[in-house]
Amino acid sequence: MALSFREFHLFQILNGFSQENKRFPLDRYLSHYFRSHRAVGSKDRRMIADTVYDLIRWRAPLDHFSIYPPTWESRYFVYSQTAWRERAQAASLPPHIALSFPQSYYSFLVAALGREKAEEFCALSNESAPTVVRVNGLKTTRENLLKSWERLYPVSPTSHSPWGIRFHKKVNFFAMKEFKEGLFEIQDEGSQLLADLMEVEPGDQVLDYCSGSGGKTLAFACRMQKRGQIYLHDKRKEILAEAKKRLRRAGVQNAQILCYDDPKKGQLKHTMDWVLVDLPCSGSGTLRRNPDMKWKFQREELEQLLAEQRNIFKEALTFLKPKGKIVYGTCSVFPQENEDQAAYFQKHLSLSLERLFQTFPLHEGMDGFFGARLTF
């Protein structure tokens, strides 16, 4: 059967992404694919991306009704039948299949959260995440952007973050004049609140130890009023290059990039007023945005990740000066990565807990984030 234009690119993406294994998260893979295929217009991109997310989210019940062994083509055939959801509801499927989770992941969630909360979490993880932006306080105010946008888009202020604006329909943010001018960044409200644990002040010395492309730094930088110094550190030089572009666009002038092998690192030991350690984690709090991650879950890898988190935290701690504060953060809902790690740091590293923070996808639509602020 001949494929339509959209179907051709749909299967190119799904089969290509399956072969990438863990190299790219789904959202980044899609961005890379569409940048490489300019013939796919904005309307087609949106339709293709929505279908990709749905097929990956609902893989388990689609597999159940597909021919064996299932392929993306056979899953799409089932998905294209308008009544497949009704069939799934009527079929009395095992909970992990009905909720479209690997059995091992589902069982782990039940053990960690309890059955009722775990099943609510699984169901919500199959929904689309809300679209939230964070206003750049160095350049504008939330009131100004809301006033500018309210006639053009369905928008509302976020309930908890004083910097957030929620969009109630999809928008191509990257084409917006305000984005190009650095007036806002795309950032979940929970992530904004995690960054608020960094109560930095003008003149402080600050280290974002696992900075990635700088999302958290961009969120707290306005507190410093361009005074003091922020260091963005990461092992991945290509993502630090992206951070540099974002800092420039946002107008953050008191920040510098610190590569993993930079000889200057040694001079910064025991000098930081604040250290942020936004650690590599399971990503279980962001499954709505990255549904592929649930199909990659392995308990053995989580155990390795817990050890890696402790090692990275200990490295970051060596940069904190006496009476400084360190913030540990994840985008996970697993207690093993959150409360248990915070308790470990207090017991074994002589740290005192100042504040705990947690959001959960069941709470007002935010992604799942955890933060602990500790001090000597």
Domain 189-375: assigned CATH number: 3.40.50.150
3-state secondary structure string across the chain: CCCCHHHHHHHHHHHHHHHHCCCCCHHHHHHHHHHHCCCCCHHHHHHHHHHHHHHHHCHHHHHHHCCCCCCHHHHHHHHCCCCHHHHHHHCCCCHHHHCCCCHHHHHHHHHHHCHHHHHHHHHHHCCCCCEEEEECCCCCCHHHHHHHHCCCCCEEECCCCCCEEEECCCCCHHHCHHHHCCCEEECCHHHHHHHCCCCCCCCCEEEECCCCCCHHHHHHHHHHCCCCEEEEEECCHHHHHHHHHHHHHHCCCCEEEEECCCHHHHHHCCCEEEEEEECCCCCHHHCCCCHHHHHHCCHHHHHHHHHHHHHHHHHHHCCEEEEEEEEEEECCCCCCCCHHHHHHHHHHCCCEEEEEEEECCCCCCCCCEEEEEEEC
**Considering the chain, what is the average pLDDT of its residues?**
95
Q: Residue 325 and residue 319: Cα distance in Å, rounded?
A: 11
Q: What value does the mean pLDDT take over residues 304-319?
A: 98
pLDDT tens digits for range 227-267: 999 999 999 999 999 999 999 999 999 999 999 999 999 99
Query: Whose CA is closest to 15, among 75, 98, 68, 66?
Result: 75
Q: Kindly compute the dihedral angle of the four CA atoms of residues 287, 171, 84, 77, in this order, to the nearest 10 degrees.
A: -100
> Any idea where the domains of the chain sit in the sequence?
5-94, 189-375
With a pLDDT cut of 70, the percent of the chain lying above it is: 99
Are the C-beta atoms of 189 and 331 separated by less than 8 Å?
no
Radius of gyration of the chain (CA): 22
Query: Whose CA is closest to 258, among 217, 226, 314, 305?
Result: 217
Q: Kindly compute the dihedral angle of the four CA atoms of residues 275, 280, 282, 285, in this order, to the nearest 10 degrees.
A: 50
pTM of full prediction above 0.85: yes
With a pLDDT cut of 90, the percent of the chain lying above it is: 89
Give 234's strand partners.
Answer: 259
pLDDT tens digits for range 45-87: 999 999 999 999 999 999 999 989 999 999 999 999 878 888 8
pLDDT tens digits for range 149-178: 999 999 999 999 999 999 999 898 999 999
